[in-house]
C-alpha cells in the first residue's frame, strides 16, 4: 500500500508540473490506473490514518487539477501549466507594487513566490482538513456500529451460557424421557399384537359358527338331494 501511495503522490507531482496539455492528459490517465489499484488495496487492507489521509489528499488534488483543466478548456482559455501560472502571478504582483524610491525595499517584493506557495499550502491544508473531517465522521459511524455489534455479541454470549446450564438439566430429563418413550413403544407394540390376535380369534369364532350352523347344513342337504 505504501508503495502504491508513493506512486500516486509522484503522479500528482507530475500532474502539477505538466508543461503541455498532452502531457497532462497522459498523467491523468496514469493516475486513474494507479487510483484504482490504490482504492482496492485501501478497501481490503487495514491501513493507518496517515496513509488514508495521504490517499485522500492525492485524489483530491487529482480532481482539482482535472477540474481546472476542463474548466479552462470549456471557457476557451488556453491551458497553461501551474508553474507558468505561478510565474505569471508572481510577475503581476511584482508589477503592481511601485517602490517609492530605488533604495527602499518593498516588503514582500522579494518573496512573491513564497506567498503564492503559501496559498498552495493553505489550499492543500484545507483539503486535508476537509478529508480529515469526513474521515472523522466515518470513524464515528464505524465506532457506533462496532459498539452495537459488541452489545449483540455480549447478549448472545449470555444466552449461550444460560443454554449450557439448561442443557445439563435437560440431559437428565432427556434420559428419563427416553426410557419412558421406550416403554411406551413396547407397550404399544404389545397392545397392537393383542388387538390383532383378539380380532383374529373373533373372526375365527364367527367363521366357525357360520360354518357349523348355516353353511354345513345347506351343503349336506345338497349332497342328500344328489344321492
Please give the residue ranges that form the binding site for other proteins (CB under 8 A): 21, 25, 28-29, 32-33, 36-37, 39-41, 43-45, 66-67, 69-71, 73-74, 150, 153-154, 156-157, 160-161, 164, 167
In the complex, least distance from residue 160 CB atom to other proteins, rounded to whole angstroms:
6
Which region holds residue 79: left if phi is over 0, alpha if psi is between -120 and 50, else beta?
beta
Of 21 and 87, nearer to other proteins (C-beta) is 21
User: What is the Cα–Cα distance from 82 to 136, expressed in whole angstroms?
Assistant: 32
Of 66 and 90, nearer to other proteins (C-beta) is 66
Of 31 and 131, nearer to other proteins (C-beta) is 31
Q: How big is the chain by its Cα radius of gyration, in Å?
A: 48
Of 77 and 107, nearer to other proteins (C-beta) is 77
User: What is the Cα–Cα distance from 222 to 216, expressed in whole angstroms?
Assistant: 10
In the complex, least distance from residue 177 CB atom to other proteins, rounded to whole angstroms:
19
In the complex, least distance from residue 153 CB atom to other proteins, rounded to whole angstroms:
4
Cell numbers standing for residue 132: 480529515
Nearest to 186, CA basis, from 175, 178, 198: 178
Amino acid at each position: 500500500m505504501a508503495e502504491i501511495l508513493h506512486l500516486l503522490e509522484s503522479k500528482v507531482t507530475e500532474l502539477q508540473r505538466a508543461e503541455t496539455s498532452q502531457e497532462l492528459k497522459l498523467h491523468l490517465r496514469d493516475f486513474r490506473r494507479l487510483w484504482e489499484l490504490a482504492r482496492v488495496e485501501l478497501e481490503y487492507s487495514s491501513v493507518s490514518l496517515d496513509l488514508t489521509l495521504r490517499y485522500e489528499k492525492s485524489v483530491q488534488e487529482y480532481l482539482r487539477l482535472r477540474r481546472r483543466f476542463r474548466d479552462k478548456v470549456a471557457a476557451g482559455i488556453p491551458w497553461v501549466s501551474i508553474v507558468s501560472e505561478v510565474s505569471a502571478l508572481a510577475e503581476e504582483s511584482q508589477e503592481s507594487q511601485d517602490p517609492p524610491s530605488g533604495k527602499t525595499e518593498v516588503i514582500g517584493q522579494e518573496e512573491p513566490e513564497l506567498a503564492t506557495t503559501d496559498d498552495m499550502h493553505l489550499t492543500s491544508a484545507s483539503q486535508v482538513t476537509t478529508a480529515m473531517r469526513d474521515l472523522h465522521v466515518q470513524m464515528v459511524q464505524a465506532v457506533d456500529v462496532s459498539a452495537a455489534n459488541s452489545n449483540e455479541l455480549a447478549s448472545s454470549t449470555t444466552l449461550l451460557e444460560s443454554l449450557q446450564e439448561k442443557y445439563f438439566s435437560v440431559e437428565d430429563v432427556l434420559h428419563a424421557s427416553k426410557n419412558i418413550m421406550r416403554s411406551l413403544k413396547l407397550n404399544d407394540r404389545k397392545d397392537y399384537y393383542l388387538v390383532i390376535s383378539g380380532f383374529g380369534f373373533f373372526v375365527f369364532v364367527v367363521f366357525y359358527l357360520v360354518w357349523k350352523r348355516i353353511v354345513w347344513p345347506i351343503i349336506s342337504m345338497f349332497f342328500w338331494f344328489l344321492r
